Amino acid sequence: MNPIAPADRTFAGAIPELYERLLVPLIFQPYASDMAGRVAPLKPERVLEIAAGTGVVTRALASVLPRETSLVATDLNQPMLDQAAAIGASRPVQWRQADAMALPFEDAAFDLVVCQFGAMFFPDKAKAFSEARRVLRPSGLFIFNVWDRIEQNEFAETVLHTLAGLFPDDPPRFMVRVPHGYHDFAAIAHDLASAGFDKPPSFDTQAARSRAASAGIPAQAYCQGTPIRNEIEARAADRLAEATAATEQAIVQRFGSGAVDGKIQAHIVAVPR
């Protein structure tokens, strides 16, 4: 398992705003809508979201759940929550900073725990999963999604290869190490079992399309709106613009000028308490 460095989990500075403005519509919105569609029929009374980021799933859940349903959204990074709270939701949400590996909630406090594209960032996944299980009621459900391997996610793959060409002696590996580094069903099932889940998880692989009006949007989204930015600036603080421009050109070469359209793919995992 690839180690998770502190910089891999740091979403601060300019990242939260760019993440929300560019990356959310590019890759996260389709799966947020999918997640909300899976949750609504369950009619949960108390919902906890972990690794909520800038709130794309939170807003989707708020739009489909009754106002009387309690919705608590947490994230490790306060700047991401600040961005989420500034946008708000269609109904009351409790925003709370929290580490998924040490949740500040009582046992059996929720009947649903949701996590969108956050599990990959947990340094100790079994520990985070055990915390999700702890705060679930006996009849509760844990549902989360993770990205498939990078080869099934075309913009991310293009970014990876472009930056490897710019920094051949020390290529930035964040994308393959973290977001696309936790896609093996056996590994996920093992971590859930280690966390105390004694029923087998279900897996549902869903492909979608990532679309943007120009190649510059995914280039800026990935290079400047994710922790890839931390990796680039750690190698050469003055090369962020160069890396973004090179990525834009690589996307143009692969997907054409004008509007671009690439494949994305993720796994949705559900496991009962």
CA distance 145 to 31: 8
SS3 readout for the chain: CCCCCHHHHCCCCCHHHHHHHHHHHHHHHHHHHHHHHHHHHHCCCEEEECCCCCCHHHHHHHHHCCCCCEEEEEECCHHHHHHHHHHCCCCCCEEEECCCCCCCCCCCCEEEEEEECCHHHCCCHHHHHHHHHHHEEEEEEEEEEEECCHHHCHHHHHHHHHHHHHCCCCCCCHHHHCCCCCCCHHHHHHHHHHCCCCCCCEEEEEEEEEEECCCHHHHHHHHHCCCHHHHHHHHCCCCHHHHHHHHHHHHHHHHCCCCEEEEEEEEEEEEEC
pLDDT (0 to 100) of residue 8: 85
pLDDT (0 to 100) of residue 3: 74
pLDDT (0 to 100) of residue 1: 54
Which CATH topology does 6-272 take?
Answer: Rossmann fold (3.40.50)
Going residue by residue through the chain (273 aa), what tens digit of pLDDT does each one get? 567 888 888 888 989 999 999 999 999 999 999 999 999 999 999 999 999 999 999 999 999 999 999 999 999 999 999 999 999 999 999 999 999 999 999 999 999 999 999 999 999 999 999 999 999 999 999 999 999 999 999 999 999 999 999 999 999 999 999 999 999 999 999 999 999 999 999 999 999 999 999 999 999 999 999 999 999 999 999 999 999 999 999 999 999 999 999 999 999 999 999
Q: Model's pTM, two decimal places? A: 0.95
CB 146 within 8 A of CB 267: yes
